[in-house]
């Protein structure tokens, strides 16, 4: 199986692309702060999943990369809160994106708690 077949990867990729599209409408003065940060963290969530999957033979690396992904996902959720507070997102879009972050977090935690289902060992 390829990492692109993982539901969590697909959800994280879609969210990153949705954030990219909507962040195009953020004000110019946010280019090097909120816009850049939310794009980076959402993309990093996704790329860390890919790295974790490729390192699944090494349980500690697998867990470390999934933990990094979970952290980036939480950062994305925080940036979404800032975007809402700054009125760059409406409440409905914020809720939808935030709920996706929650779902991604649950899937990442499932992977961390069940590494053997992904070709890794639970014996850390």
74-109 pLDDT, tens digit per residue, is 999 999 999 999 999 999 999 999 999 999 999 999
Give me the pLDDT at residue 122, please. 60
Give me the pLDDT at residue 123, please. 56
- Give the three-class secondary structure for 121: coil
Which H or E run includes 42? helix 36-54
> What is residue 122's DSSP assignment?
S
Instruction: List the domain boundaries for the chain.
Output: 3-115
The dotted CATH code for 3-115 is 1.20.1440.60
% of the chain with per-residue pLDDT over 70: 97
Euclidean distance between CA atoms 63 and 122, whole angstroms: 10
Euclidean distance between CA atoms 23 and 40, whole angstroms: 12
| Residue 67 clears pLDDT 80, i.e. is over it | yes
Asked whether 121 and 112 are in contact (CB, 8 A), the reply is no
């Amino acid at each position: 199986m390829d990492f692109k077949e993982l539901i969590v990867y697909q959800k994280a990729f879609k969210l990153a692309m949705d954030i990219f599209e909507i962040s195009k409408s953020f004000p110019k003065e946010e280019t090097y702060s909120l816009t850049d940060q939310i794009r980076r963290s959402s993309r990093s969530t996704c790329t860390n999943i890919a790295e974790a999957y490729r390192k699944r033979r090494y349980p500690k690396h697998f867990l470390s990369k999934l933990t990094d992904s979970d952290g980036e996902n939480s950062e994305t959720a925080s940036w979404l809160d800032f975007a809402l507070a700054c009125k760059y997102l409406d409440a409905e879009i914020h809720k939808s994106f935030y709920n996706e972050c929650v779902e991604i977090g649950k899937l990442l935690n499932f992977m961390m708690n069940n590494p053997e289902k992904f070709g890794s060992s639970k014996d850390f």
